[in-house]
Structure 1
Amino acid sequence: MKNIKGVIFDLDGTLVSSSLDFQWLRQQVNCPDEDDILTFTAQLQDPYLKDRANSIIEQHELDDAHQANWIPGAKLFVDCLNQNNYPMAIVTRNFQQAAQIKIRNNAMPITRIITREEAPAKPDPTALLMIATEWRLKPEQVMYVGDFRYDVEAANNAGMHSCLYAPDELPDYAHQADQVIRHFDELTATLKSLN
């Protein structure tokens, strides 16, 4: 973290817990297993099917939002960043309403949030680069922390430091990340040693 001046986070599975059942969601909207569900839904030609699929996904996200709690160690790391005046933001594939519920219910001190309504969904790097520009930082001065392949790919596509949160078994794409952590305490300890 020595050269890092700002930190962007994913939301679900990174800062807060998530019980989204993507297998069930795929079945509900008839999305093939190998397809990204948001891309699949956006490409539906029938307006009725598209609206129905979006409604199902959004309702599932809202239900999940009310149950979301801090991931172990994440709050301490965010508080530590806050105390040391690091700018922070969230880039999530969630829609705005669900993201705001999770942030409000967990009293997160992060006010800059980009959802799928405002920028193309990850792994597209647009949202990450928008924030770096707002902060007047070079991409390499920003770290993006996430728990999934799209997070690592988005950070790499943006030229940012990619940090993969992998508390359990290492996924097959872990080698693509600049850094892999098992617990947020690792980042907190590094930050405290620098400050």
Structure 2
Amino acid sequence: MERIKGLIFDLDGTIIDNDDDYMELMLHRVGRDLGYDFNLCHARELWYAIDSESRDNVIKRWGCDPDKFWTVFNRYENIDEKLRSTYLHEDAAILKGLDVPKGIVTHTSYDHTDMLLKMVGMRQYFNPIIACTEDTGYKPSPLPIIYCVVDMKLKPEEVAYVGDTLSDIMAAQNAGVRSIYINRFKRPIRTTPDYEIDSLEKLLDIVSN
């Protein structure tokens, strides 16, 4: 097996996260406009979508139309509010000293990703950043990860993708890179990743081996 020469990361839930108050506020706003009584439990289910292929599947399960949901959500999303509620996972600090190329593949827009990483002092450690769009496809599509691998000038078998949801792991598997499930909260997942870790600090052992 090839040694891992590059790492690609999901953003939200993997490197950074948001306070519960922000998540609950956003879902309350959307629910108020669409006639749903969304609460913090809904917010957590959507934000982490641990065992769903996509957040749209979660929204459909609630009986809500995903297109209408995201139209309202995007109308209310405010980067200043999100910045104030964003924090860096403590174990992500280890990435500063991890001497391999590191990229990002995320559903968060490029501009917001850039601002969020700068705010937590991590922007300089990641290049490239691939923000999923209709053109690139959305996870679990393999295309965003493939674009990132090509940009890093590596082969798929030399790269691992680190994420915290089923769609992350499926995207890695579909792209032919190794999958690393960061499972800080002991949540089961309906697939078998190549590696499962409870802290990003354990990436040191994976990369060194």
- TM-score bracket, normalised by the shorter chain, equals 0.7 to 0.9
Question: What is the TM-score normalised by the length of structure 1?
Answer: 0.76
Counterpart residue number, 2:115: 101
SS of 2:60 mapped into structure 1: coil
SS of 1:164 mapped into structure 2: strand
* 2: CA distance, partners of 1:113 / 1:127: 10
| Residue from 34, 57, 70 that aligns with 2:88 | 70
2:10·2:163 contact (CA, 8 Å) conserved in 1? yes
* 2: CA distance, partners of 1:93 / 1:124: 12
Listed as ranges, the matches of 1:108-187 within 5 Å are 108=122, 109-117=125-133, 119-173=136-190, 175-187=191-203
* 1: CA distance, partners of 2:202 / 2:73: 39
- Number of residue pairs matched by the alignment: 179
Amino acid aligned to 1:172: I
Counterpart residue number, 2:31: 27
Question: What is the TM-score normalised by the length of structure 2?
Answer: 0.72
| Identical residues among aligned pairs (%) | 26
> Which 5+ residue runs of structure 1 have no aligned equivalent?
none
Distance 1:124 1:24, change over 3 A: farther
Say whether residues 1:55 and 2:75 are aligned partners. Answer: yes
1:62·1:97 contact (CA, 8 Å) conserved in 2? no
> Which 5+ residue runs of structure 2 have no aligned equivalent?
35-55
Counterpart residue number, 1:88: 102
Offset of residue 100 of structure 1: 1.8
Offset of residue 9 of structure 1: 0.3
Coordinate RMSD, CA, aligned: 3.0
